[in-house]
Amino acid sequence: MKTTRRQFMAGSAAATAGMLLSQEATPDAASNGQRPNIVILFADDAGYGDLSCYGHPTIHTPNIDRMAHEGTRFTSFCVLPACTASRAALLTGRYPVRPGGVEGVIGPDSDQGLPAYEITMATALRNVGYRTMCVGKWHLGHARDEYLPTSHGFDEYFGLLYSNDMIPPWVQTERPLELYRDTEPIEHPVDQTTLTVRYTAEAVRFIHHNGDEPFFLYLPYTMPHLPLATADRFRGQSRAGLYGDVIEALDWSAGEIMKALREAGVADNTLVIWLSDNGPWINMPDRMVQPGPHGLNNERWHAGSPGPFRDAKGTTYEGGVRVPAIVWQPDVVPANRIIQEPANSMDLFTTVLRAAGAEVPDDRPIDGNDLGPLLRGEEDESPSQQYYYFRGPELQALRRGPWKLQLASGQPELFHLERDIGERFNVADDHPDIVAEWRVSMESFAEETETALPA
């Protein structure tokens, strides 16, 4: 029998409490020395083509490039096309429309947030003995304490609760943008030029203070989301202008974190993942191109590159959802390897929990698959051959293997993503059987998730 979202929510609190008690009573699956530390570095609005290891000709990212050389780089990795939804998918392993309220973008005056019944990666890891910290942009709700990072499995939090542009003149609100530590604001107005450096310092401190305990560090950077800002030490360093300076600051941050892992003697037992939350904001609205407070301003060129892909952030074409993704773990993940197979951010939830010996929830649909065998080189085919593309509450596209059916334009568009990576050639008329069959699949999944297809 199919369980609807409303039915699930009705019994979710008791089910979640029961699961957590069960996990807490379960002996560790492995000793501390065997369970890997987990570090996720999550850029905001960085495009597929923004790193030198992904082909950018003038942005220099030697530290991230080294991770790619020593680890594995994905070329067909998808996320959700907007900030809140992308974070929800990563941390819960579920399409964000399943819980509801986190499928779009949460604004400063919104009362929505990640429901208390959702089990995050941090919650599952903490229940098997991990120390957990979130440093950076949360953007999964702030109106109630139950939405905050410390209510969703994180022992510590330092960062902004939502996007750095959610202040006048770009967003009309009377709520101040504040820097938080745990559940309390500590700075307003926020000096955005210092954020990447301060986030990095917090992350390094956390790494050095964990001792023998396994830890989970989740670092969702504020940058390069507009308005761009970086410390003076990075300004003017990149040939790609201010945007390049900001990306190179993120590269510096990655280098500092990798150095801290080595200095703490835990690098050999740490799984590090670098990715972006969605494609670049090259389609920014007119409201963004105006001067702001504290010297912040935006220009049309203050955005990244989608690489060879079509469109940008906020769309379900590949430029909006396909991002750079690098996985690094010595002696586990093969070095200098490129995976062309499809994968997505929900897979990281299941993959990380399996690696840590934590239970994957079985009382709710989990949409992510375990990439462990693929990452270790034990299998050549990804378990994530099928992926549904949502924009907010609307189901717009479906991918199976190399094929993708896109309905966002109002007319069916069918693309072969390996032969036509730019989604330029619609072959729907040549394959009416695929279009008809896949539309039925999309309608069925829309019914299951209580969503809708484009009109």
Provide the 10 A C-beta neighbour count for residue 108.
18
Residue 152 corresponds to which tokens in the numbers above? Answer: 């969703």
Cα 58 to Cα 234: distance, rounded to the nearest angstrom:
15
> Counting beta carbons within 10 angstroms of the beta carbon of residue 235, is it exposed (0 to 12), middle (13 to 18) or buried (19 or more)?
middle
What is the 8-class DSSP label of residue 349? H
Give the phi and the psi of residue 432 in degrees, each rounded to 5: -65, -25
Q: How far is CA 151 from the centre of its chain?
A: 19
- Please check whether residue 129 is in contact with residue 24, taking contact to mean a CB–CB distance below 8 angstroms: no
User: Is residue 53 annotated as part of the catalytic site, yes or no?
Assistant: no
Beta strands in 259-385 (DSSP E): 270-276, 322-328, 337-339, 343-344
Catalytic residue chosen out of the listed positions 56, 139, 152, 302: 139
Tokens 């080595």 belong to which residue?
262
Cα 104 to Cα 278: distance, rounded to the nearest angstrom:
12
| H or E element that contains 87 | helix 83-92
Q: Which residues of 401-411 are buried (b: 16+ CB within 10 A; e: fewer)?
A: eebbbbbbeee
- Reference 233, options 248, 223, 222; nearest CA is 248
Q: What angle do CA 444, 448, 452 make, to 5 degrees?
A: 70
Cα 120 to Cα 127: distance, rounded to the nearest angstrom:
11
Catalytic residue chosen out of the listed positions 56, 83, 142, 225: 83
Cα 261 to Cα 267: distance, rounded to the nearest angstrom:
5
Q: Which residues pair with 30 in a beta bridge?
A: none
User: Is residue 208 annotated as part of the catalytic site, yes or no?
Assistant: no
- Catalytic positions are 83, 139
